């Protein structure tokens, strides 16, 4: 572990000393990733030439192309724009999800280009800013987007790199200055160890990414390492109950920052927040679910500690609209509700279930779930079965492999057999619309981190007409 940290630090020093951020061109391998595309937008906004590769066109790559960024979808050195073949003027950024035999990546590595992981360049960009980092196995993206929105609404000169598309800005980048940075600190591949935040929070440390860490204990050790990456006199915020020291936060408990007096009025949370110094009364927040209240609380706490006015923060919190694919309402009528969510871990599915039951206690709920990764399905098979058993009706898609090859015996059929629900079925994407039509469920959820998100427009179009 120490060796890993040293290698990252050495890479950062080399980049900083040799180039700073003075490259003319930045080339991205995996430019369509949600984190990669935010950095691509950042460099484009800062007048750099930007281009890249990804496997397939998506809504994200389409928006980048609309900005004038050149993107191709075949792993071929011949398709790299000629301006980006100058090793002296080009920085190459890649995502760890790219396979090691990737032709373009190996070309750049073998020809003396500056080649860095996404996390390394993010660490370099934010190193000389006042950096607020959001870490945790759940809640990072929503919390980061709330925090970015709060600070931006308070006129803080910030750049916020988001792990999702903010509904307020229709972007995964909030760009309003460079003195302050807000980042999602990703534990995957230990990426967050490249950051040096002034403030950081840890929302959760549930076991995940065991294909990287091996076991939950190693994951927790790495979160502790992240907590030690704070700059001198930095502030660490900890979800109450986690085994680390810091400023605590929680919902209806004895934390330093806590939510109290929760009410629901017309689908909106109304509540008070007790801080170490005062009580902020009658705050409003429109995202359902106690997990989202917790996300709002820690974003608010970090903004308060940064020095923002509580009056301005109250207005900003009430105007927050959410993140696409995080309990995103697609259809909302009295007769039919369709919600899409990125949940891909049993704890996240439980949070979605709790939220939908709190908002619609007397309605029949159908969940459509696509497992993400063979290894995650294997590692948490019983947790997935338990969480998915709670819905009134379940449609299960095949596992989305992402970066992985199949693992023997790990299939959606195996998961389906373990789910204790009399109303369950394994279906194809092609059969989805027909199966939803057959159901009398008033609430339909699509859940998962794979390409199930590509089905959302199709489902929304079909049932907007039907309802």
**Tens-binned pLDDT, residue by residue, of the chain (467 aa):** 333 333 334 344 444 433 346 789 999 999 999 899 999 999 999 999 999 999 999 889 999 999 999 999 999 999 999 999 999 999 999 998 888 899 999 999 999 999 999 889 998 999 899 999 999 988 899 999 999 999 999 999 999 999 889 999 999 999 999 999 999 988 767 778 889 999 999 998 875 545 565 666 777 888 899 899 999 999 999 999 999 999 999 999 999 999 999 998 877 899 999 999 999 999 999 988 888 999 999 999 999 999 999 999 999 999 999 998 888 889 989 899 999 999 999 999 998 999 899 888 889 999 999 999 999 999 999 999 999 999 999 999 999 998 789 999 999 999 999 999 999 999 999 999 999 999 999 999 999 998 998 899 999 999 986 55
Q: For 40-78, write each residue's pLDDT tens digit.
A: 999 999 999 999 999 999 889 999 999 999 999 999 999
Q: Which residue has the tokens 């990287």?
A: 212
Which residues sit opposite 155 in a β-bridge?
Answer: none
SS3 427: coil
Name, in order, each residue with C-beta under 8 angstroms of 137's C-beta and a sequence gap of 6 or more. Answer: 187, 203, 204, 205, 206, 207, 208, 209, 219, 345, 347
Reported pTM = 0.80
Q: Considering the domain 23-118 in this protein, what is its CATH number?
A: 3.40.50.720
Please report, for residues 72, 104, 110, 185, 331, the alpha-carbon distance to residue 13 in angstroms, rounded to integers and kept in the order given: 32, 25, 21, 20, 50
Angle separating helix axes 346-359 and 290-306, nearest 10 degrees: 100
Classify domain 328-466 by CATH architecture.
Alpha-Beta Complex (3.90)
Q: Residues 63, 65, 70, 72: is their CA dihedral positive or negative?
A: positive
Angle separating helix axes 140-153 and 310-318, nearest 10 degrees: 120
Q: Where in the chain is the domain with CATH 3.90.190.20?
A: 328-466
Q: For 322-371, write each residue's pLDDT tens digit.
A: 998 888 889 989 899 999 999 999 999 998 999 899 888 889 999 999 99
Decide: 452 and 446 in contact? Cβ < 8 Å: yes
Decide: 126 and 176 in contact? Cβ < 8 Å: no
CA separation for the pair 259, 365 (Å, rounded): 28
Which residues sit opposite 251 in a β-bridge?
Answer: 259
Among residues 186, 181, 97, which one has the least CA distance to residue 138?
186
E-strand ranges in 307-364 read 328-332, 337-341
Q: Where in the chain is the domain with CATH 3.40.50.720?
A: 23-118
DSSP-derived secondary structure letter, 74: S
DSSP-derived secondary structure letter, 34: H
Decide: 465 and 442 in contact? Cβ < 8 Å: no
Q: Considering the domain 127-318 in this protein, what is its CATH number?
A: 3.40.1190.10
Q: Where in the chain is the domain with CATH 3.40.1190.10?
A: 127-318
């Amino acid at each position: 572990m120490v060796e890993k940290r040293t290698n990252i630090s050495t890479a950062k020093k080399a980049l900083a000393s040799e180039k700073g951020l003075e490259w003319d061109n930045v080339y991205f391998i995996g430019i369509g990733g949600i984190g990669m595309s935010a950095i691509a937008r950042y460099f484009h906004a800062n007048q750099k030439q930007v281009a890249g590769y990804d496997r397939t066109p998506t809504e994200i790559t389409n928006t980048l192309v609309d900005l004038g960024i050149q993107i191709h979808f075949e792993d071929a050195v011949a398709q790299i724009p000629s301006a980006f073949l100058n090793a002296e003027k080009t920085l190459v950024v890649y995502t760890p999800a790219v396979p090691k035999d990737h032709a373009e990546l190996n070309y750049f590595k073998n020809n003396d280009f500056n080649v860095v992981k996404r996390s390394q360049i993010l660490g370099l960009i934010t190193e000389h800013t006042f950096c607020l980092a959001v870490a945790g196995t759940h809640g990072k993206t929503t919390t980061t987007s709330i925090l970015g929105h709060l600070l931006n609404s308070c006129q803080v000169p910030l750049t916020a790199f988001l792990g999702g598309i903010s509904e307020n800005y229709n972007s995964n980048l909030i760009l309003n200055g460079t003195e302050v940075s807000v980042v999602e600190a990703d534990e995957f591949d230990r990426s967050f160890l490249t950051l040096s935040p002034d403030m950081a929070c840890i929302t959760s440390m549930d076991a995940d990414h065991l294909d990287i860490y091996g076991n939950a204990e190693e994951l927790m050790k790495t979160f502790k390492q992240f907590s030690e990456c704070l700059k001198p006199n930095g502030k660490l915020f900890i979800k109450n109950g986690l085994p680390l020291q810091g400023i605590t936060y929680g919902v209806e408990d004895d934390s330093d920052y806590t939510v109290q007096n929760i009410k629901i009025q017309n689908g909106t949370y109304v509540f008070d927040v007790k801080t170490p110094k005062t009580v902020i009364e009658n705050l409003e927040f429109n995202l359902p679910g106690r997990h989202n209240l917790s996300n709002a609380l820690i974003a608010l706490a970090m903004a308060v500690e940064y020095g923002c006015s509580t009056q301005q923060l109250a207005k900003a919190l009430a105007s927050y609209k959410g993140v696409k694919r995080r309990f995103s309402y697609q259809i909302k009528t009295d007769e039919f509700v369709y919600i899409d969510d990125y949940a891909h871990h049993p704890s996240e599915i439980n949070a979605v279930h709790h939220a939908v039951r709190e908002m619609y206690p007397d309605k029949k709920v159908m969940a459509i779930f696509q497992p993400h990764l063979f290894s995650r399905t294997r590692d948490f098979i019983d947790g997935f079965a338990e969480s998915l058993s709670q819905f009134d009706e379940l449609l299960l898609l095949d596992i989305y492999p992402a970066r992985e090859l199949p693992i023997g015996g790990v299939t959606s059929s195996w998961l389906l057999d373990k789910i204790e629900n009399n109303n369950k079925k394994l279906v194809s994407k092609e059969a989805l619309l027909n199966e939803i039509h057959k159901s009398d469920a008033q609430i339909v959820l699509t859940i998962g981190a794979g390409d199930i998100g590509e089905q959302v427009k199709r489902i929304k179009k079909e049932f907007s007409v039907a309802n």
